[in-house]
Amino acid sequence: MDEAATSAIHGVVIAIDGPAGSGKSTVARILAKRLEFLLLDSGALYRALALHLDRLAVDPDVPVVPESALESLDLRAETAAEGVRLFLAREEVTDLIRGERIGSIASRFSTKPEVRATLLTVQREIASKGGVIAEGRDMGTVVFPHAQLKFFLRAEPEERARRRYRELVERGQPAELPTVEAEMRVRDLRDSTRKESPLVQAPDAISIDTTHLTPEEVIQAIWRHVCQELPFACLNETR
Ligand code: DC
């Protein structure tokens, strides 16, 4: 990418929010690569923090997470278009945080304002390094309310559970579809009804129902908006 294009995209944020299994991670990863943007997988940050707190034996349902536990977090994200590699101190935890257990703990810790405040700084710092595709639950509402483009992906719960199940099986993790679906519903409810930064669509977000769409079709839909609103970013396509 030439210098002019690099400086034009600096500070550009494309927010993609939605529940688990809505397809946001796959789409965000491909888009980041195509646009040569950084990928901010905020869920992975919540998972890494959850792993850290779990190792310190902090109960996810404790009313307030002790300050010392949050202060001792030594989280480093190596962000690139291919994805994010996460480290707790020197240990890489990128794969370790992917299981259902850590997902559930992350969801419980993420209801707490002190946890969200800790990660708010981390997320904005990552985004200060270039154009970014930020995916999560509150990217367009709280973390990057001024994002140039916002998308909200949704899909029927049964389809989201099937996608999540396939993903776990592909990773070689033991899973059963009814359990995955039941856990997903619990997590959805918690994520969308919590007081702090709940999963809701930003008023200025573009909603896309991905139930019957392939990832490529979702990308095409998003791409049209990118080219319309951010033509200089669209020109950087490296497909
Ligand atoms: O996207 P994910 O499944 O990796 O996220 C794990 C949990 O982290 C999710 O259930 C809620 C929390 N989370 C959040 O509260 N805010 C975000 N922006 C991203 C994730």
* 47 C-beta closer than 6 A to ligand 1: yes
Give residue 66's region: left, alpha or beta (phi > 0; psi -120 to 50): beta
Confidence of residue 40 (pLDDT cuts 50, 70, 90): very high
Mean pLDDT of 65-82: 87
Confidence of residue 68 (pLDDT cuts 50, 70, 90): very high
For ligand 1, mutation pick of 24, 107, 111, 151 (most atoms within 8 Å of CB):
107
For residue range 8-17, what is the model confidence (pLDDT) as tens digits?
777 899 999 9
User: What is the distance in A from the centroid of ligand 1 to the CA of 44?
Assistant: 7
Threshold 0.95, pTM exceeds: no
Of 1.20.1530.20, 3.30.1360.170, 3.40.50.300, 3.30.70.890, the CATH number of 3-226 is 3.40.50.300
| Contacts of 88 by beta carbon, 8 Å cutoff, 6+ apart | 48, 51, 52, 73, 74, 75
Domain borders along the chain are 3-226
Q: How far is CA 142 from the centre of its chain?
A: 13
Strands (E), 56-188: 75-80, 83-88, 91-92, 132-136, 149-154
Alpha-carbon span 11 to 29, nearest angstrom:
18
Confidence of residue 239 (pLDDT cuts 50, 70, 90): very low
Pairwise pLDDT comparison (211 vs 128), residue with the higher score: 211
* 109 C-beta closer than 6 A to ligand 1: no
Q: Which residue has the tokens 């396509």?
A: 237
- Tell whether the model's pLDDT for residue 111 goes beyond 80: yes
Return the pLDDT at 157. Answer: 94
- Tell whether the model's pLDDT for residue 220 goes beyond 90: yes
Confidence of residue 152 (pLDDT cuts 50, 70, 90): very high
% of residues, the chain, pLDDT over 70: 93
User: What is the distance in A from the centroid of ligand 1 to the CA of 7?
Assistant: 30
Alpha-carbon span 100 to 175, nearest angstrom:
9
For ligand 1, mutation pick of 124, 137, 197 (most atoms within 8 Å of CB):
137
Alpha helix stretches (DSSP H) within 90-156: 100-109, 113-127
For ligand 1, mutation pick of 191, 197, 200 (most atoms within 8 Å of CB):
191
* 34 C-beta closer than 6 A to ligand 1: no
- Tell whether the model's pLDDT for residue 116 goes beyond 90: yes
Mean pLDDT of 77-102: 86
Mean pLDDT of 160-174: 90
User: What is the distance in A from the centroid of ligand 1 to the CA of 33?
Assistant: 22
% of residues, the chain, pLDDT over 90: 77
Return the pLDDT at 205. Answer: 98
Bridge partner list, 88: 75, 91
- Tell whether the model's pLDDT for residue 81 goes beyond 80: no
Helices 100-109 and 42-55: crossing angle in degrees, nearest 10, is 90
Mean pLDDT of 20-32: 93
The chain-wide mean pLDDT, for the chain, equals: 91
Confidence of residue 52 (pLDDT cuts 50, 70, 90): very high
Nearest to 18 by CA among 181, 139, 124: 139
Alpha-carbon span 171 to 53, nearest angstrom:
24
User: What is the distance in A from the centroid of ligand 1 to the CA of 225?
Assistant: 25
Nearest to 32 by CA among 102, 143, 126: 126
